[in-house]
Structure 1
């Protein structure tokens, strides 16, 4: 009894509180102590995440893993979106305030695992001989291992005279003449598929590399990637590239290692240069994105053009499309000399491939007939034809393996990931 007199009332209350928890069947083992030097407070942390303040048992709760991954644990707080406390990976106790930023206020004594996101990003390696020809003589390499060199052709971009005439009329004003950007953007919308337009619009609508990365991440990935991009975009809208405050805005989410990984990929890129979609995608996992040749061509062309329609179209659609658009500006649409008319350079190029296939395989060969029928569907159809474009790309990849007249004709007409020697 005498020894009991040495205990303060508060310590007895803590003892009773812990005994009560144990009695109810919750087994706990102390794993660490948290010291807040600024407020002169200390807490005990148990293996089930329960935390209780020494000498103040009413101040208790449960720690959570930090959903952003920048910190190890989030300590309970009244308003964690504005001001919160964390156990950092280096065992510091960090207070983060949305206005004042982050400050070290204490220390944690206990086990902290190795940060799994500490070195998640690795700079991609590039083969300088394999990439996209943005414009004649302007060659941009792409990261190693992204595209199959045996399937290096992209999608053609073509439309018919009727669609071109509609775009021309909508972009023409008697007082100011032809609005070239409006006209070219209208043409692209008629020549490209949804995926291509999504990529271009991400580049056009984004003000920063981070915005562009998140937009592309959500558009080119699946439902999981869209969810991740949405969560991070909400934080970016509030804090931009001030990564130190992201634990605050992520505090309302359940811990998701994939979100933490993407944030780490972006934050680590920002230390050595600009954040990019390709760097983030390779860090996160390329298998979650369909990074084939046509996507690579569109990505590189959109990035190089900054979303400017004419430059993008000439890059993504190849030199024949650039030549055809130039005719729109100088000779108008249709007729003998206008663009997308009788002397359409793109149609000429595609028909030249058909002629070469006819010479090599004969007019009744399945490949020859499929090619000619597909070209007819594209040139005479009402608009963008995904299946026809896909067929031309697939045949191009097949016949390009032989160095003959067919291969030469294909390379002139169909956009391609080029190998520069």
Structure 2
């Protein structure tokens, strides 16, 4: 028995699945098989209970009230920030900024660091793999500053063309922004290697970790990036909450993103001074319940054997690829050197949206479309794909059901 096999067998996905109440239901008369985890993960009882407990017992604004409810809410709110800092191995919780998700994090950095630092002729590099949220904010700011967004080519496998990146890097490149893991293909990008290349020409690096945080431990200090962001709802936490991590000297130098309460030190009509980190970037009443729920999600994830969980997810992908090889007309889009449990596929003669509809009729939830990655779909010459994405509560039985559903679709449209 290999070490990976031992880890896979040590992971009890059925016990994990029991922690997620939404999975204990039927859809269209079939047990729910949820394979849309790259879009959003489901929430365990621990997260649901933490949010409910806040609203039932501690509902109050944070940092401002001179009463017990506000004190308790503030303690839980800041404890979650400390949990995120530890989760990312941040030197300080001051470097953890609450945002609605990666989309807001990219907009924050592009509109503060970008507007301050980018000049005419400067370049921002992004791989073709990127989610629209990683592309559009930089395009908007570059249009204002006279700088440019340039795509890093991707190989047919779905891997970043590192030779092409080398040829593009020069002193005019001020930012390299990329996802840690492709949401469309599951490609695990060699971010540490890319960070080293970018640093060699003096560029900053922003990593979108939305698809990485649920799969393995992270260490922003070891990576050496300048910014790292993730969304809570990809990590078994609530929607509408996420975190941006940044190097403290960069965050200190960046102007505020939004104005309002909390982000100020003093206000007068003659001028305003701004709060210290992290509050400088957290204008207005925050998503307190979401923050507390995210803290609970991190505690839940950290309670698992993460190496065994990763081995389990890798087994699901390998099992999928083995079964798919026996279905004529079923093809995987991309075959990256390293991937998480995302299977993006096409079925000959059947539109991806029709595949998704037929699978849903069997209680199987997958994603269809361009996955907010239209440049990547254009690279492959397809309008979109069907995508199954696995996580800790999925099983080989889920994969069996997926393949049986695909066979039914093939029989219907073949």
Q: State if a TM-score over 0.5 links the two structures.
A: no
Bigger RCO (CA 8 Å, 6+ sep): 2
Richer in helix (by share): 1
